[in-house]
């Protein structure tokens, strides 16, 4: 037995949810470019869960359910109030989602109907939790979710307690579409491994949040912003990136396990970043990002991934840096739950082998002789 480090190129599941073929990403066979330009995030959620685009009535039905489930139990709000000041936002989300399962009487009902309802609940409640966490740590009361608006609108509304600008809602909605699913990425794989033991959906999503948090995965969007802040200005880009490359540091937001010729989502986020910069009358972050891309692609052949331009997009939307990865989770929970439902439909325990490289025939040495 020999191991493939990082499971690169290993096909570990069959799935009909999203595909990456010759660098082209589709959700249920529909090209991401088409979806990014035309679909709302709610249509995409429906597409991922039900395998087809909804008609008007089906979409209205899903939105009504999302409205019904968007509020979170008081016990969870009270628990968030006990979190340490300065808690990591993804750790807080992981804990709150795990707690949410305690207050759902159907948490361990494994019927397909109950699991679908729980997927809707998780999608509906996750943005409410992120916004509540953000307000509570700022010493503010959480804002209750509004009915009859999109997830993107509601999240921005619950975050600031004010009606969001149309342009901000549109940009966030498109970002949510672009992040919704991505085949067998690390967090989705973690979710599938967890529920492959026939554990419950809350456990699966909690595992996924833990995996998304890391800077080699979803945590990279926050890390890109840290880098932009450290660089500080367009004038510093060349020397900062030059030094980072010379000392073999990883440039956050570049490279991808599956895309070697570029991530098809990055161009949409780049366009959004440019447009939001123009609207704000401040192109510094956009110009810095373009310059970084020019150098990193020129010198290393590495292309920006989905996380790179999302950092300047979210910053231009006025969102605090440490909420970038929780926003990724607000979107990706649609994909995680679609994969969890698919895993339950045709489950087999996921249990690979390890290539043992440790000592053999070692003897137990009594403690006094060590």
Ligand X SMILES: CC(=O)SCCNC(=O)CCNC(=O)[C@H](O)C(C)(C)COP(=O)(O)OP(=O)(O)OC[C@H]1O[C@@H](n2cnc3c(N)ncnc32)[C@H](O)[C@@H]1OP(=O)(O)O
Question: At closest approach, how far in Å is the CB of 174 from ligand X?
Answer: 16
338 near ligand OAA, judged by CB under 6 A: no
Contact footprint for ligand X (CB under 6 A): 6, 216-218, 220, 250-257, 300, 302, 305-307
Name the residue nearer to ligand OAA (CB basis): 306 or 330.
306
Using CB under 6 A as the binding criterion, the count of chain residues that bind ligand OAA stands at: 7
Q: In angstroms, how far apart are the furthest CA atoms of the chain?
A: 75
- Given a contact cutoff of 8 angstroms between Cβ atoms, the answer to whether 39 and 177 are in contact is yes
87 near ligand OAA, judged by CB under 6 A: no
Name the residue nearer to ligand OAA (CB basis): 70 or 330.
330
Q: Give the one entry of ligand X, ligand OAA, none that residue 6 binds, where binding means its C-beta sits below a cut-off of 5 to 8 angstroms depending on kind.
A: ligand X
Q: Give the one entry of ligand X, ligand OAA, none that residue 41 binds, where binding means its C-beta sits below a cut-off of 5 to 8 angstroms depending on kind.
A: none
35 near ligand OAA, judged by CB under 6 A: no
Question: At closest approach, how far in Å is the CB of 28 from ligand X?
Answer: 20
Q: Which of 65, 257, 280, 291 binds ligand OAA (CB under 6 A)?
A: 257
SS3 of the chain: CCCCHHHCCCCCCCCCCEEEECCEEEECCEEHHHHHHHCCHHHHHHHHHHCCCCCHHHHHHHHHHHHHHCCCCHHHHHHHHCCCCCCCHHHHHHHHHHHHHHCCCCCCCCCHHHHHHHHHHHHHHHHHHHHHHHHHHCCCCCCCCCCCCCHHHHHHHHHHCCCCCHHHHHHHHHHHHHHCCCCCCHHHHHHHHHHCCCCCHHHHHHHHHHHHCCCCCCCHHHHHHHHHHHHCCHHHHHHHHHHHHHCCCCCCCECCCCCCCCCCCHHHHHHHHHHHHHHHCCCHHHHHHHHHHHHHHHHHCCCECHHHHHHHHHHHCCCCHHHHHHHHHHHHHHHHHHHHHHHHHCCCCCCCCCCCCCCCCCCCCCHHHC
Q: Which of 89, 95, 154, 185 binds ligand OAA (CB under 6 A)?
A: 185
* Cβ-closest position to ligand X: 255
- Contacts with ligand OAA in 217-236 (CB under 6 A)? 217
13 near ligand OAA, judged by CB under 6 A: no
Question: At closest approach, how far in Å is the CB of 300 from ligand OAA?
Answer: 18
Distance CA 119, CA 113 (A): 10
Catalytic residues: 256, 307
Question: At closest approach, how far in Å is the CB of 218 from ligand OAA?
Answer: 7
Structural tokens at position 237? 């880009």
Q: Give the one entry of ligand X, ligand OAA, none that residue 311 binds, where binding means its C-beta sits below a cut-off of 5 to 8 angstroms depending on kind.
A: none
Question: At closest approach, how far in Å is the CB of 258 from ligand OAA?
Answer: 6
216 near ligand OAA, judged by CB under 6 A: no
Name the residue nearer to ligand OAA (CB basis): 53 or 258.
258
Q: Give the one entry of ligand OAA, ligand X, none that residue 7 binds, where binding means its C-beta sits below a cut-off of 5 to 8 angstroms depending on kind.
A: none
Name the residue nearer to ligand OAA (CB basis): 32 or 132.
32
306 near ligand OAA, judged by CB under 6 A: yes
Name the residue nearer to ligand X (CB basis): 150 or 187.
187
Distance CA 330, CA 100 (A): 15
Name the residue nearer to ligand X (CB basis): 69 or 328.
328
| 272 to 153, 281, 299: CA distances (angstroms) | 17, 14, 26
* Cβ-closest position to ligand OAA: 185
Residue position matching structure tokens 């679609």 = 338
Closest among 159, 165, 152 to 137, alpha carbons compared: 159
Question: At closest approach, how far in Å is the CB of 36 from ligand X?
Answer: 16
Question: At closest approach, how far in Å is the CB of 49 from ligand X?
Answer: 21
Q: Give the one entry of ligand X, ligand OAA, none that residue 258 binds, where binding means its C-beta sits below a cut-off of 5 to 8 angstroms depending on kind.
A: ligand OAA
- Contacting residues toward ligand OAA, per CB under 6 A: 182, 185, 217, 257-258, 305-306
């Amino acid at each position: 037995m020999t191991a493939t480090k990082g499971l690169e190129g290993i096909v570990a599941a069959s799935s009909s949810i999203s595909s990456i073929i010759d660098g082209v990403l589709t959700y249920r066979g529909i090209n991401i470019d088409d979806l990014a330009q035309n679909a709302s995030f709610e249509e995409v959620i429906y597409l991922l869960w039900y395998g087809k685009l909804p008609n008007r009535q089906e979409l209205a039905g899903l939105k009504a359910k999302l409205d019904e489930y968007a509020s979170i139990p008081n016990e969870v709000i009270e628990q968030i109030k006990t979190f340490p000041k300065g808690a990591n936002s993804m750790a807080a989300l992981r804990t709150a989602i795990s707690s949410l399962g305690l207050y759902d009487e159907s948490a361990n009902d494994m019927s397909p109907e109950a699991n679908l309802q729980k997927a809707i609940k998780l999608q509906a409640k996750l943005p409410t939790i992120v916004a509540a966490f953000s307000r509570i740590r700022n010493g503010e009361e959480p804002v209750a979710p509004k009915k009859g608006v999109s997830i993107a609108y509601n999240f921005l509304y619950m975050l600031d307690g004010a009606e969001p600008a149309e342009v901000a809602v549109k940009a966030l909605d498109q970002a949510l579409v672009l992040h919704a699913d991505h085949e067998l990425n690390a967090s989705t794989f973690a979710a599938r491994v967890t529920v492959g033991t026939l554990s419950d959906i809350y456990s699966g999503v909690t595992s996924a949040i833990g995996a998304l948090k890391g800077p080699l995965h979803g945590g990279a969007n926050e890390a890109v912003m840290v880098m932009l802040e450290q660089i500080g200005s367009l004038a510093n880009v060349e020397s900062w990136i030059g030094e980072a490359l010379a000392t073999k540091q990883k440039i956050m937001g570049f490279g991808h396990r599956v895309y070697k010729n570029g991530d098809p989502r990055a161009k949409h986020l780049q366009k959004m970043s440019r447009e939001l910069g123009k609207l704000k009358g401040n192109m510094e972050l956009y110009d810095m990002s373009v310059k970084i891309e020019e150098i990193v692609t020129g010198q290393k052949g590495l292309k920006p991934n989905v996380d790179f331009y999302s950092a300047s997009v979210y910053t231009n939307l006025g969102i605090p840096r440490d909420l970038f990865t929780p926003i990724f989770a607000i979107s990706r929970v649609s994909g995680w739950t679609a994969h969890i439902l698919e895993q339950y439909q045709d489950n087999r325990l996921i249990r690979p082998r390890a290539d043992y490289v440790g000592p053999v025939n070692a003897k137990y040495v009594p403690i006094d002789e060590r």
